[in-house]
Structure 1
C-alpha cells in the first residue's frame, strides 16, 4: 500500500462482536478520496471500533475493509498506510517534539538528515517550528496534540484517522485546533476519518457526517442535509436540539398547534404522533389570549432561546433574535406556530 494520494475507504457488511455485545452490525460505508468524514454517535455505537478496524487494531468477524479496492481486512496494522492520532496523544516522553515526529521515519530506516528535515517541515506546518527541541512535558495539551498530528502525517499516509483528538482540551484550544486540522486536511487533500461525540465539532469540520447507533449507520450526509433533513427520528434528536410537539395524522397531513401541515418523509403507522421541530423553526409571538407561556429564557448572544410551555404541558424550545425576545420574558403569555412547510413526524413518545 504505497503512500501519497488520497484513498477511497470502504466498509462492506462489517460485523464485530465482543461476547454478547454487537459493536458493528453489518456496517456499509464509503469514505471518498480526500474527504473528511466524521463518525458521530453516542457511546457504544461502534464508531471507535470502525476506526480501529480501519487502522488494523481490530479485525471483523465478517465483512471486508477496503482501501482503493484492495482488501486490507487481515493486513497487520504496521503494513497499512494509515496515520492515527489518539485522544491521549501517546507521545514518547523521553523524545523531543522533533524526534517524536521523526520516529516513524526512523523505524523505516530513513537517513537522519532526511527524517529531521521532514519532521521540521511538519512542525512548521502545524505551527510549532520553534518547539522542535522541547519535550512533551514542556508543551501544552494543544501543542502536544499538534505534535501527534505531525507525527501521523510524517509517513505521508493515504488515510488519516483521528480518535476524538480534541476531547481532552479546553474549549478555546479545541476551537483553534479544530480549524487548524480542517485547514491542514484540505491543504494536504488526505482522506480522513474522524471519530467524535461532539455534534458541533462534526458539523463544523466534516464534509459528511455518518451518524451511528447500536453498530448501524443511521444516516450519512453533508452537515446541512443531516441537520435540515434528518432521515430518522434518532438522527433528528441526536444532531442539534429538537422539540417534540404532539400531533395527529389525518389524510396524509398532520394536525399540530391548530395548523395542518404536510409530512416530510415516511409517516409512522399510528395516528397519534410527535412533530419534530428545531428551535429556529418555532414562531413565538406575544398574545394576551394565547394558551402558552414562556417559562425560561437563555441568552445566546445574537439569539435568545425560549422555553415555552404549551397548554398540554409540552415544553418547546424556540430561538428568536435577541431584539424580538426582549419583550418575552419568563411568564409572558404567547402564541406558538410553525412555518407552512413539511415537518418530520415520529411515533408518539411514551
Structure 2
C-alpha cells in the first residue's frame, strides 16, 4: 500500500463525532457539565480553554479512557460510550511521546499492527510507508534516544496512524517542544491531516496554535462549551465576554449603556451581542488592539505608558484620564515619535462593539 493509498483509505473512513450532553464529576469537581458538540467528517477541530476546563476529559472520553456519568459519545451515529478503548478505532498522540525505548522507530510505528497479528512483511511495509509520510524514512532503524523531540513526536504520530483510525486524537502533542520545533511540527500535522482527510480533535491551551491550524475551534470553560466557530469568526465575533478575552488580546474601556448603544470615549456606538443580564448601565466595552486609534494630541489627557516593537506593528499601552489602560497596535511608521509619556487622543472605529458587565477594581 503506497502513501497515496493510505491517504485515500483514511479519507474514506472520516467519521462524524458527537458529544451528547456529557457530564463527568471527580468528587466535588465538575469536569464536564452537559457538553454538547459535533465534529464533522474530516474536520480538524481544536478544543481550547484554560486548565481544568474539561477539554482533555472530553478527549479521553472519545478515546475510551474515561466514561461519563451521563450523556453519550457517538461516532457516525453509533453510541460508543461503553465500548472499550481498544475497539474505538481511534488513534491518540499524547503530550509525552510514550515510545518504547527498546524498539526502533520502525518497530514503534508497527507495534499496534503486531498486537493485531498483522503479518510481519505487511506491518513493516506499512510502518515504512508511514515513516515516509512523516518525513522520517531514513530514521527507521534508530532508537528513541537517538532522535530529537520533534522526530519522536512524528514517530508517535505515525504510530497512531498505522492502524488507520477513523478519528485522530491529539492531546497537547506540542507542549514539550521548543518554539521553533512547535511551529514546524504543527504545520506538518495540519498538512498530514489535510492529506489524509481524517477527523481530528486537537486539545491545546495555546490560542495561537488553535487558531492557526484548525477548521473550527471549540472554546470551553468550566466543563461547558462557550463557542464553536471558525478561527476568524471566533476572533472577530466572539459570542461571550469570556471568549473575547481568552482568544487574543482585549482591553476593557468603561462605558455607559444608552438603550442598545453605548457611550465610550466621547462616542456613541451600537452594541454587538447580548447586553448584561443584570440590566446595569455601567459596562465595559471590549476592544482589540488593532481597533484602537491613537493619534498625537498635545492637548490629550491620555498618556503612552509603554511601547513594544512587534515588527510590522508597535503595541502601545495608553493610560486614559481615569486610569484605565488600553492597548493599541499601530503601524510602525505611525508610532514614530509616540514615545513613553507622549499625550495622545484615543478613539474607536464607528462600528458595533461587544460589552460586558463592569469589572470590579
Q: Distance in 1 between matches of 2:136 and 2:190?
A: 17
Unaligned 5+ residue runs, structure 1? none
TM superposition shift of 1:113: 0.8
Superposed counterparts of 1:43-54, under 5 Å: 43-54=51-62
Q: 1:84 — aligned with what?
A: 92
Does the residue aligned with 2:186 lie in a helix, a strand or coil? Answer: helix
Equivalent runs, 1:1-350 vs 2, <5 Å = 5-268=13-276, 269-350=279-360
TM-score where L is the length of structure 2: 0.96
Partner of 2:4: none
What CA distance in whole angstroms lies between the structure 2 residues aligned with 1:332 and 1:44? Answer: 42
CA offsets per residue over residues 46-69 of structure 1, 9 Å max, x none? 000000000000000000000000
| Cα deviation digits, residues 18-50 of structure 1 (max 9, x gap) | 011000000000000000000000000000000
Cα distance in 2 for partners of 1:28, 1:310 equals 42
Q: CA deviation at 1:327?
A: 1.5
The CA deviation at 1:251 is 2.4
Q: Deviations over 1:249-281 (max 9, x none)?
A: 012200000000000011112100000000000
> Quick one: distance in 2 between partners of 1:15 and 1:251?
38
Q: Find the aligned partners of 1:326 and 1:317 in 2 and give their Cα distance.
A: 16
Secondary structure class of the residue paired with 2:110: helix
**C-alpha distance in 1, partners of 2:332/2:138?**
45
Per-residue deviation, residues 82-111 of structure 1 (Å, max 9, x unmatched): 000000010000000000000011111111
CA distance in 2, matches of 1:97, 1:299: 43
For these two proteins, the number of residue pairs brought into alignment is: 349
**Distance (Å, rounded) in 1 between the aligned partners of 2:135 and 2:350:** 49
